[in-house]
Chain A
């Protein structure tokens, strides 16, 4: 595969090198996305131009079956309810609503399908929120002649992406720093290991935050690149667990749950 999959932080998808060779790649039979069973994709983006560009790329790749596309939250909901699919590519601004709403809806109807955000904004807070709702990828639009097909295949085959800045935020949000100073961090709230980063996960995030690629991290820690991906997916899952736990606490505080 080309450099895209090696570089963990590369949500700026594609690369000039990859544009000429997309179809020449031999795709191993154990990966998802075979020409006889392509990955089924829904595309929801309110910018018709962008939608066309992405659709063109997806249609050109035999490993992907573009099931349907929509330009608004309302239409997106209809598509989600009506179709079977593996991946939903969704923009965050949808004119009549946000991509967040659609992700939430999709996760309630098709919990197994993956939601991948495609956004023009590179904003870590947005990304974190999307992951909290269960998204598994956050792609930043329009770097190079973006290779969305490659990115979609990367995600369905267990790839996970995290940018250095996002890694930093995640560390701050999920990591409990033991070295905050005497008597400072001792008063930590409801502690549960399901919500906190493991030592290994923190190590990986720290390496991403200081600019290392997934290949380098794998080599550095003597694990496989796939294991690095799995760790990152687990981190996103913790983000989701934590958010649910907080929502439950809030709800019970307001007397909504007993």
Chain B
């Protein structure tokens, strides 16, 4: 085999493999990003195929220029759309530029007007459009405080512009060909895709020692086993006698805690789902204590994206605060607010009650001490989240607990 054919063969086979993988994933999971990557890889393969066909003499030299340019055009569009989607910059202005680039690009491939300087008009158009898109991407990154994946996409975009300039420089008479730098670019895209779609964890997060699935399983088994025992003990207790009633109430709290533990183990859990199940579980306890709950948790997309340890910390913090309200406050009203505060660019969690406040007169020390310990725990949680916890309280004027976690330090799921 001719050694010069190694490059197109490698380029074609590797991009076909990637296309198959990404499209297979895309079909199964209905993900736009997968489909775009698959399509891009197919265009890569097409360019290499044209190279091979020319080398084996299947197509004439006159067809070579438009065919390679067409494949290259598809490839460029694919790469740029992929990067824009990955950087969450695929919005109407960018869509317009890409549309213009596609239409004009095709026209220039077909008409092939006189070159502008050293480069064909088609190449100039592509360079201009891609540069424009890069600038818009950079602007969006700075203005919208983008996360790490978006910046990585930006770096990849610069690399692809570099590859494009190189390819145009190598092109003789407007005929493009597969190059090693394209293969490398394809690998960069693959790595970016794996990172973005969390097939590889992008953020250096401490991995759980056991696989997540087992943890969840363990929690479920614990719940089904211990939970059903607790349930039958509770049902065997006599509701008529005050002592057994209070025992049952305590066991009931255990059961609620157990269930919340299982909820927290769910890998897909979000702040919203965890707070919702917290309310669902704790409402009977609150209504038994004649405490009215005002629920002001925003049903909003951004809250739905906050996951992982952040979500768990928010759950446990709220849970502890409510436990304090139930045990010590003597309140008959409590409100829970959770939302993303646009003004402060932070997640806001607030728990208010109208109870006796934290500063009880000396003499009722035991409750207070337990409370103090709980508060330290809450401060520790807020600190771990990179947030800030404020507690305001006045005797018999209730307690207000307010936590702010800056959006920058939130752990969110790429959607």
The interface residues of chain B lying within 8 Å CB-to-CB of A19 are 239
Q: Is the CB–CB distance between B252 and A144 below 8 Å? A: yes
Q: Is the CB–CB distance between A144 and B284 below 8 Å? A: yes
Tell me, yes or no, whether A181 is within 8 Å of chain B by CB. yes
Across the interface, name the chain A residue whose C-beta is closest to B272.
A210
Q: Is the CB–CB distance between B231 and A145 below 8 Å? A: no
Q: Is the CB–CB distance between A164 and B235 below 8 Å? A: no
Tell me, yes or no, whether A139 is within 8 Å of chain B by CB. no
Instruction: Report the minimum CB–CB distance from A50 to chain B (whole Å).
Output: 7
Tell me, yes or no, whether B249 is within 8 Å of chain A by CB. yes
- State which of A143, A209, A216 has its C-beta within 8 Å of the C-beta of B295: A216
Q: Is the CB–CB distance between A10 and B284 below 8 Å? A: yes
Question: Which residues between 155 and 172 of chain A lie within 8 Å of chain B, taking CB atoms?
Answer: 163-165, 168
**Bound: A156/B33 CA distance, A:** 48
- Taking chain B's interface residues, is the majority helix, strand, or loop, or is none over half, making it mixed? helix
Instruction: Report the minimum CB–CB distance from B11 to chain A (whole Å).
Output: 25
Instruction: Report the minimum CB–CB distance from A202 to chain B (whole Å).
Output: 12
The interface residues of chain B lying within 8 Å CB-to-CB of A15 are 284, 287-288
Write out, one digit per residue, whether chain A residues 88-123 have a CB within 8 A of any chain B CB (1) or not (0): 000000000000000000000000000000001110
Given contacts A120-B228, A181-B33, contact A12 B284 (CB under 8 A): yes
Q: Is the CB–CB distance between B231 and A141 below 8 Å? A: yes
Tell me, yes or no, whether B255 is within 8 Å of chain A by CB. yes
| Chain A residues within 8 Å of chain B by Cβ, number | 43
**Bound: A146/B231 CA distance, A:** 10
Given contacts A164-B280, A210-B276, A211-B295, contact A144 B85 (CB under 8 A): no
Q: Is the CB–CB distance between A16 and B249 below 8 Å? A: yes
Tell me, yes or no, whether A49 is within 8 Å of chain B by CB. yes
The interface residues of chain B lying within 8 Å CB-to-CB of A210 are 272, 275-276, 297-299
Q: Is the CB–CB distance between A122 and B259 below 8 Å? A: yes
Instruction: Report the minimum CB–CB distance from A162 to chain B (whole Å).
Output: 10
Across the interface, name the chain B residue whose C-beta is closest to A123.
B220
**Bound: A49/B278 CA distance, A:** 29
The interface residues of chain B lying within 8 Å CB-to-CB of A143 are 231, 234, 252, 255, 284
Q: Is the CB–CB distance between B252 and A10 below 8 Å? A: no
Tell me, yes or no, whether B283 is within 8 Å of chain A by CB. yes
Instruction: Report the minimum CB–CB distance from A134 to chain B (whole Å).
Output: 25
Given contacts A184-B32, A207-B299, A210-B299, contact A165 B255 (CB under 8 A): no
Q: Is the CB–CB distance between A145 and B239 below 8 Å? A: yes
**Bound: A226/B284 CA distance, A:** 21
Q: Is the CB–CB distance between A184 and B248 below 8 Å? A: no
The interface residues of chain B lying within 8 Å CB-to-CB of A208 are 276
Q: Is the CB–CB distance between B232 and A49 below 8 Å? A: yes
**Bound: A122/B256 CA distance, A:** 12
Across the interface, name the chain A residue whose C-beta is closest to B228.
A120
**Bound: A207/B275 CA distance, A:** 12
Q: Is the CB–CB distance between A184 and B280 below 8 Å? A: no
The interface residues of chain B lying within 8 Å CB-to-CB of A47 are 232
Indicate the member of B36, B232, B235, B278 with the most A CB atoms within 10 Å: B235
Q: Is the CB–CB distance between B234 and A212 below 8 Å? A: no
Tell me, yes or no, whether B267 is within 8 Å of chain A by CB. no
Indicate the member of A12, A180, A210, A213 with the most B CB atoms within 10 Å: A210
Tell me, yes or no, whether B279 is within 8 Å of chain A by CB. yes
Tell me, yes or no, whether A38 is within 8 Å of chain B by CB. no
Can you give 16 A-B contacts (C-beta < 8 A)?
A9-B279, A16-B288, A49-B236, A50-B232, A121-B224, A141-B235, A142-B235, A143-B284, A164-B276, A165-B273, A181-B31, A184-B26, A184-B35, A208-B276, A211-B275, A213-B283
Instruction: List B residues at the A interface (Cβ < 8 Å).
Output: 26, 30-33, 35-36, 85, 90, 223-224, 227-228, 230-232, 234-237, 239, 245, 248-249, 252, 255, 259, 263, 272-273, 275-281, 283-284, 287-288, 290, 295, 297-299
The 4 closest A-B pairs by CB, nearest first: A142-B231, A181-B32, A211-B276, A164-B276
